């Protein structure tokens, strides 16, 4: 057997491939060139992280990102600054799909809730509605028996 020759694609080929894939995805998601101008943004803000998902009106995910994905580590992921950076990244995805109006659904009790919404509006995305969908227990599970020693 001889040596195996590995073909390494150069930067131009990678960019052409990426553009081709983006065009194919946009065509599938947008329905053959139809433009989406409305969508939904789901913000999940916990004590440890902030995750923002962009969907169309039917709920099909167009893109998502989190503060960990952007590069924040540890306790910095849950800060309002990290949440605003995540919102900026999602707004760039929204611009790619030509989404101008969104409904925002916020879940969780983290510190990045308000800053993410403020950052979305500052980037030129019109927010139609803000709804809090944080789950609230209705009395919860039965507590354990009292411990007897």
Q: So what's the pLDDT on residue 1?
A: 59
Q: In this structure, what token pair is assigned to residue 118?
A: 């403020």
**Which among 124, 22, 116, 42 is positioned nearest to 78, based on CA atoms?**
116
Domain total for the chain?
1
Q: So what's the pLDDT on residue 44?
A: 96
Q: What is the CATH number of the domain that holds 77?
A: 3.30.420.80
Who contacts 125 (Cβ-Cβ below 8 Å, separation ≥6)? 91, 94, 99, 100, 101, 102
Cα 105 from Cα 63, distance rounded (Å): 15
| Residue 85 counted as domain residue | yes
Mapped onto helix, strand or coil, the DSSP state of residue 75 is helix
| Residue 40 counted as domain residue | yes
The region of weakest confidence among 3-7, 20-24, 42-46, 111-115 is: 3-7
| Residue 147 counted as domain residue | no
| Residue 21 counted as domain residue | no
The CA-based angle 42-54-31, given to 5 degrees, is: 140
DSSP conformational letter for 31: T
What is the domain extent for residue 95? 35-132
pLDDT band at 30 (very low <50, low <70, confident <90, very high): low
Q: What is the mean pLDDT of residues 53-73?
A: 92
Strand pairing report for 38-45 and 126-132: unpaired
| Residue 141 counted as domain residue | no
Q: What is the pTM of this model?
A: 0.73
| Residue 122 counted as domain residue | yes
| Residue 11 counted as domain residue | no
| Residue 146 counted as domain residue | no
């Amino acid at each position: 057997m001889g040596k195996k020759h590995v073909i390494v694609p150069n930067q131009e080929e990678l960019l052409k491939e990426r553009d081709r894939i983006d065009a194919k995805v946009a065509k599938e998601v947008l329905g053959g060139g139809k433009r989406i101008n409305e969508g939904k943004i789901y913000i999940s803000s916990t004590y440890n992280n902030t995750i923002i998902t962009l969907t169309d009106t039917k709920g099909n995910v167009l893109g998502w990102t989190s503060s960990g994905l952007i590069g924040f580590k540890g306790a910095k992921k849950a800060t309002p600054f990290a949440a605003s950076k995540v919102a900026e990244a999602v707004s760039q995805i929204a611009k790619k799909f030509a989404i101008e109006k969104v409904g925002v659904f916020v879940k969780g009790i983290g510190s990045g809730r308000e800053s993410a919404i403020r950052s979305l509006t500052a980037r030129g995305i019109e927010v139609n509605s803000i709804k809090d969908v944080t789950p609230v227990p209705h009395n919860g599970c039965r507590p354990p028996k009292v411990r007897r020693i």
